[in-house]
């Protein structure tokens, strides 16, 4: 078995939490605001991804990938995978 390292790549992302409103996040990623009866927050966002429709919940990050695709990412995975890029 060979070992591989993830290539460094910059992505754009929006946090589904203050100061971003759900409307701002949905407009940016082309998602739809839906009622969230799962986490106890009033909203979630459904996003059509390359793998089908995925749900971004309050606190998640929405990422625009290298091919322009959008997908949600849980905060712990985001923190372990990404760091701020130099401006």
Question: Could you tell me which of 36, 37, 58, 32 has the C-alpha nearest to residue 47?
Answer: 32
| Spatial distance between the Cα atoms of 78 and 57, rounded to a whole number of angstroms | 14
| pTM confidence score | 0.85
Q: What is the mean pLDDT of residues 60-81?
A: 95
pLDDT digits (tens, 9 = 90+) for 31-49: 999 987 776 777 899 999 9
Pairing, β 61-64 against β 70-73: antiparallel
- Cα–Cα distances in angstroms (integers) from residue 50 to residues 46, 71, 80, in the given order: 13, 8, 23
Which residues on neighbouring strands pair with residue 49, listed in sequence order?
Answer: 52
When pLDDT is cut at 50, 70 and 90, the band that residue 87 belongs to is: low
SS3 26: helix
């Amino acid at each position: 078995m060979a070992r591989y390292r993830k290539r460094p790549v910059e992505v754009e992302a929006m946090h589904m939490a203050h100061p971003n409103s759900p409307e701002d996040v949905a407009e940016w990623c082309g998602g739809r605001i839906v009622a969230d009866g799962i986490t106890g927050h009033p909203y979630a966002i459904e996003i059509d991804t390359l793998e089908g429709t995925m749900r971004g919940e309050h606190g998640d990050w929405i990422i625009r990938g290298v091919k322009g695709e959008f997908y949600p990412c849980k905060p712990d995975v985001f923190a372990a995978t990404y760091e701020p890029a130099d401006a």
